Amino acid sequence: MAKPRARGEARFDGGEPLNPEQRDARGRAAESETGRSALRIGVLALQGDFRLHVQALERSGAEAVEVRKSEELADLDGLVIPGGESTTLLRLIDEGDFVHALEKFHAVGKPIFGTCAGLILLAREVQRPAQFSLGLIDAVVERNAYGRQRESFEARGAVALGGRTAPIEMVFIRAPRILSVGPEVETLATHAGDPVMARQGAVLAATFHPELTDDLTVHRYFCDLVRRARARTT
């Protein structure tokens, strides 16, 4: 089983994080290879594991941008909302006037990927306790359903992406549980009979933390969603 990275550990292919010059060089290389600008994917950087998502996206070939202001969403092709503490995330999103900007981002068909607390924010309904959510994926979720921090665990499973099934490492940390999904939601992975990764249109959501392993399967799949969404609008 792949060893998960510690929260906040910033690594890139076994080395140091990319500095701005390296990120620019990576973007130029991607542009040279494709004849188009690299995918520009934001990671909401208000709290949580945003740096690990940045590195996973960069390793997947995207230009990753840390997003701290709602107006920064306008120049992005896609967005990741990382894990963290959901009530804190809600407060910071409200203070930063992100709600309308996120709804607009979704309305124009730009993909959003929420992990753990990010999933809670995207869900149609949140239980135990109830709290505000954006309702961008037709799912009912229960907060901290797998227990406290000490009950965190790893599991090996399979995910169905793009017509094929791939093995995947899943790290659950104070994870929510998806209690139910609507008819337009596709379940991509399960654990112990519960959905743990799902998609509805341009919205992808997972109860686990793909950024805490070296497996890029999920981030590469999200990059592909973003690439196809951008192609439809250009």
For residue 104, how many C-alpha atoms fall within 13 Å in the half-sphere facing its CB? 12
Q: What is the pLDDT of residues 209-220, one digit of tens each?
A: 999 999 999 999
Q: What CATH number was assigned to the domain covering residues 38-232?
A: 3.40.50.880
Cα dist from 165 to 108, 169, 208, whole Å = 30, 13, 18
Beta bridge partners of 12: 15
- The per-residue pLDDT for 49 is 81
Catalytic: which of 116, 142, 191, 223? 116
Q: Is 223 a catalytic residue?
A: no
Q: Which of 32, 30, 37 is CA-nearest to residue 61?
A: 30
Q: Is 211 a catalytic residue?
A: yes
Residue numbers of the chain with a pLDDT score lower than 70: 1-36, 147-151
- The per-residue pLDDT for 234 is 72
**Overall size of the chain counted in residues:** 234
- The per-residue pLDDT for 185 is 98
Cα dist from 65 to 27, 38, 68, whole Å = 11, 12, 10
Catalytic: which of 58, 209, 219, 223? 209
Catalytic: which of 169, 211, 219, 223? 211
- The per-residue pLDDT for 152 is 77
- The per-residue pLDDT for 151 is 63
Q: Is the peptide bond before 129 cis (omega within 30 degrees of 0)?
A: yes
CA 178 to chain centre: 16
Q: Is 116 a catalytic residue?
A: yes
Retrieve residue 85's tokens.
């503490």
Q: What is the pLDDT of residues 123-132, one digit of tens each?
A: 999 998 899 9
